[in-house]
Amino acid sequence: MLAAGYYPGCSLEATARDYAESVAGAAQALDLRLVEIPDWNCCGATAGHSLDHRIAVNLGARNLALAAGLPRPLVVPCALCFNRLKTAQADLRSEVDLVIPEIARLGQDYQRVEVVELNTYLTTPEMIDRARKRRVHDLSGLRPVCYYGCQGQRPPQVTDRPDFENPQGLDRLLKALGAEVLDWQFKTDCCGASHTFPRPDILFRLVGRLYEQALAVGANCLVTGCQMCQANLDMYQKEIARELGRQVYLPVFYFTELLGLALAHPRAGRWLRRHMVDPTGLLAGTGLPREVWA
């Protein structure tokens, strides 16, 4: 059994529980052990890093120090956490003196762990091969566009992504699982992120464009690996469709959910029930047996 370190982050314990469950399920189906960082703390996204650089570095330092003893790499399902941990790691190369003694005491080998985003980890050629071999059901009938969002990609000097303009990992994985993945140019366009409440107009415009482009290439669903993106794309579909003046029916999957479906995880159907856009209408029209998703 393969094992890796795991940093779930806060939202997977609350709003994105569906994501958390599908991550656990996909890992199980792939025979992977994700070892959670003991007593992990806030990654410092949103408020932390924008208010106090010192706090941001220390939050990251603590998580990294605690992860040093875990199996490698350190896998992070949340794009924001990933970005924060990577940034902290980069900062700690030159600003290690910002670390307060209480945290420094935990160990200072901050560069030891390799921080990778879950969707990178699960889309290496070896992992795709692993998934292909364990595939039970074919995802044909699903015509997804993959949506990677921003925080996992940019800035490339922090994320170390060579293909930050046109990431391919999820595309490859889902193709291997039999989905008819479609190419589009909006893989990393902004989903509106945290503007949901203060400026819904911005969110509506940005997400509306994503819908239109997805429909234009002939997609029937969206697949993402970030719970912020998933929420923004999923939550206001009806309202945005009304503003666009057209029918939009685009279920928004976590890629881990599709892994669960293809690898016949017994609980995969349940994860989907938390989505605002009910995907069962779409899934009923695919080759997937009803018992897998119902």
218 binds another protein (CB under 8 A): yes
Q: Which residues contact 126 (CB under 8 A, 6 or more apart)?
A: none
216 binds another protein (CB under 8 A): yes
| # binding residues, another protein (CB under 8 A) | 9
Query: Smaller CB distance to another protein: residue 218 or 289?
Result: 218
Q: Cα–Cα distance between 17 and 10 in angstroms, integer?
A: 10
Restricting to residues 98-127, which ones interact with another protein according to CB under 8 A?
none
Query: Smaller CB distance to another protein: residue 43 or 150?
Result: 150
46 binds another protein (CB under 8 A): no
List the one residue from 46, 50, 185, 194 that touches another protein (CB under 8 A). Answer: 185
217 binds another protein (CB under 8 A): yes
Q: Cα–Cα distance between 11 and 15 in angstroms, integer?
A: 6
135 binds another protein (CB under 8 A): no
Query: Smaller CB distance to another protein: residue 169 or 269?
Result: 169
Choices 81-89, 124-132, 209-217, 252-260; region in contact with another protein by CB under 8 A = 209-217
- Show the tokens assigned to 146: 């993959």
129 binds another protein (CB under 8 A): no
155 binds another protein (CB under 8 A): no
Choices 33-41, 99-107, 124-132, 215-223; region in contact with another protein by CB under 8 A = 215-223
Choices 15-23, 99-107, 135-143, 216-224; region in contact with another protein by CB under 8 A = 216-224
40 binds another protein (CB under 8 A): no
Residues that bind another protein (CB under 8 A): 165-166, 183-185, 213, 216-218
